Structure 1
Amino acid sequence: MGDDVGDLIRAQRSAERAEEIALLRRKIDGIVVLIAGPANVALQLGWPEVGYGVVESKVDSGKVTKHPFKRFRTTVGYLGVALLGSHTQRMAYRKAINEQHRQVRSTPDSPVKYNAFNRELQLWVASCIYYGTVDAFTKMHGPLTRDEEAIVLRAGARIGTTLQVPQDMWHRTPEEFWAYWEEGLARVDIDERVGSYLRSLLRMEIVPKPLYRAFGPLHQWLNTGFIPEPVRGQLGLPWDERDQRRHDRLMRVIGALSRPLPHFVRAFPINAMRLNLEIRRRLGRPMV
């Protein structure tokens, strides 16, 4: 009897996972990490404990300001592993990121206390990534149905559990998530030090000067459209109704152009960075 129950549970989980993968493959557009990645970082760092955990971090190998392309590889790879990867891939990444997080703790001189293993902070980070995922799906392909949102939320739990968030801490329903999200936004408090760091990311000042001079203004504008109030206001980013209309229209056009493409094309560079992490795992090389 016990084996029969176990088989039923495994079959149900397998069916649910297949449902998640099918929906994610229809909705994921890799271009989003290029035009909305720093916007999501701004949301995550909106909580002072997360913001100072990043700007004060002594883990030089993971700093985007020193290793922008490496950070892009590991962050985008994490998204691919969390949403589409196997259990083995996710646990390997979790182990690797834990090694870095052990070094991220506040000091007596820090303006706020933080610890990268704080599950409430990691839940906020994972929730920001989930919010950004749903926001991109909506902007590019239209609103999700209630059933679709429930499926994406269920898949989104893997964003948290690939870090340190226990499954039972994840949001159980879309309504529960949105209530949490509004409370989380109300807690955003960006001071000048963190704000300066984020504005630098948005302007692409971390890449060679010719690149950020050429693409920085456009990059900031594209990302600003993915940043909700009050975060946008606290960063002092200009935005009006005309900007919003243009941004919405552009996202709909990009979505319409991407939908007919094969998944492996649409998912680039998420799939490529996920593959990179898998190759590094198999070769025994550092994943982060």
Structure 2
Amino acid sequence: MHPTIGTVVDQRSSFRVDPVGRAIRSFTSVQTWIYGGQTAIEEGERLRKMHATISAQDEEGRTHHALSAGPWAWVHLTGFYAAVVAARYFAVEEPEPGEEQQVFEEFMRLGRILQVPERMLPATIADYWTYFDDMVENTLVDHKVAYDVLDMMARVPPGTPAALRPVLAPFSAVSGHVGRFVTIGTLPAAARDKLGLSWDDADERRLRRLGKAIARSTAGLPERLRYMPIAYRARQAARAQARLDRTLAERPM
């Protein structure tokens, strides 16, 4: 819905012809700069180099650059909103006191890895919500890319072999309906209004029930299935480092 992001994605992204691959690459990149250590810094530099020459013109002839400070910051900073909303709907338990502050501080550190200008990073959570609400109200628009993403959710992904399309069509329809429902429900109310998307109290109750069901079922899965590979290995590495630290602390002197 950001006009620059929408214009650049509309003209320069592969999301229409390879939505699954595009999503996997994006998610893997996010996991890398969250858990990657030194590789996270390298990933941040790679992303900036990749976007440095990307630009596009909108229908009014205005040129939009992918690395402009405002949209570059917005792409990253929406992650904190996503984390808060995910905890609200899809967590088994309420966050511990101070956990939201910790997540906020981590997102600001990650923003520095991505070289988001310091002036664009909110100093406090209260500052963040002031910034976020202002962006939704005064910058976001009902961009056609937002509608395209919602419409594509229930379709069999492009490039699927013809023989598999009849098999995947029912699954795509069901999963797409659920994905569209969750996407709409987790948007800020003001963003839904701009897109003309309806949402009522009954929808909200259904989303909360769905979220709790997903949270409970996910909690019962083995750790290697609950986390993506990079996150799973990072958790293993953190535990191994903690064990090594304890062993070193207890060594004979």
Candidates 112, 117, 135, aligned match of 2:85: 135
Q: 1:106 is paired with a residue of what secondary structure? A: strand
> What corresponds to 2:217 in structure 1?
257
User: 2:15 is paired with a residue of what secondary structure?
Assistant: coil
The equivalent of 1:104 in structure 2 is 54
Cα distance, 1:50 vs structure 2: 1.6
Aligned partner of 1:83 in structure 2 is: 34
Paired amino acid for 2:45? K
SS of 2:27 mapped into structure 1: helix
1:70 aligns to 2:30 (yes or no): no
CA distance in 2, matches of 1:270, 1:218: 26
| Closer/same/farther in 2, CA of residues 190 and 154 from structure 1, 3 Å limit | same
1:231 pairs with 191, 205, 208, which one?
Answer: 191
Is the 1:160–1:170 Cα contact (8 Å) retained in structure 2? Answer: yes
Q: Which moved more, 1:94-103 or 1:149-158?
A: 94-103
Segments of structure 1 that go 5 or more residues without pairing to the other structure are 1-45, 275-288
Q: Deviations over 1:64-83 (max 9, x none)?
A: 21222321221111221222
SS in structure 1 opposite 2:178? helix
Cα gap change, 1:192/1:68 in structure 2, threshold over 3 Å: closer, same or farther?
closer
Deviation of the 1:242 alpha carbon: 0.8
Q: Aligned residues: percent identity? A: 21
Post-superposition offset of 1:246: 0.9
Greater RCO (CA < 8 Å, at least 6 residues apart): 1
Q: TM-score, normalised by structure 1?
A: 0.67
Helix, strand or coil at the partner of 1:56: helix
For 2:139 and 2:154, the matched residues in 1 are separated by 21
74-83 or 254-263: which moved more? 254-263
Count of equivalent residues: 224
Which has the greater radius of gyration?
2
Specify whether residues 166 and 111 from structure 1 end up closer, same or farther in structure 2 by C-alpha distance, changes over 3 A only. same
Instruction: State the distance in 1 between where 2:174 and 2:147 align.
Output: 20
Gaps of 5+ in 2: 235-253
TM-score by length of 2: 0.75
> Is 1:93 the equivalent of 2:43?
yes
The secondary structure found in structure 2 opposite 1:64 is coil
